[in-house]
Amino acid sequence: MAAHAGEKAQKTGDFYCAHCSEKVHVTQGHEIPPCPNGHATFETRRNEPGNKS
Ligand SMILES: [Zn+2]
């Protein structure tokens, strides 16, 4: 599932840049910021308890 900068996040969680894997944390209902490296496409991965490395 992909998400883009400027969209409102439907879930609170971490978004990983599809280009450079930079992580941004977004809260539900807030707009997704661009990646610090200027990209705008993200893979979404929610914070899932028990899935911490
Ligand atoms: Zn990036």
Q: pLDDT of 2-46, one tens digit each?
A: 899 999 999 899 999 999 999 999 999 999 999 999 999 999 877
Distance (angstroms) between ligand 1 centre and the Cα of 23 equals 8
Distance (angstroms) between ligand 1 centre and the Cα of 34 equals 8
CA dist list (Å): 46 to 26, 30, 53: 10, 15, 14
The pTM score is 0.78
pLDDT at site 26: 94
Distance (angstroms) between ligand 1 centre and the Cα of 5 equals 11
Distance (angstroms) between ligand 1 centre and the Cα of 42 equals 8
Distance (angstroms) between ligand 1 centre and the Cα of 20 equals 4
pLDDT at site 45: 78
pLDDT at site 33: 96
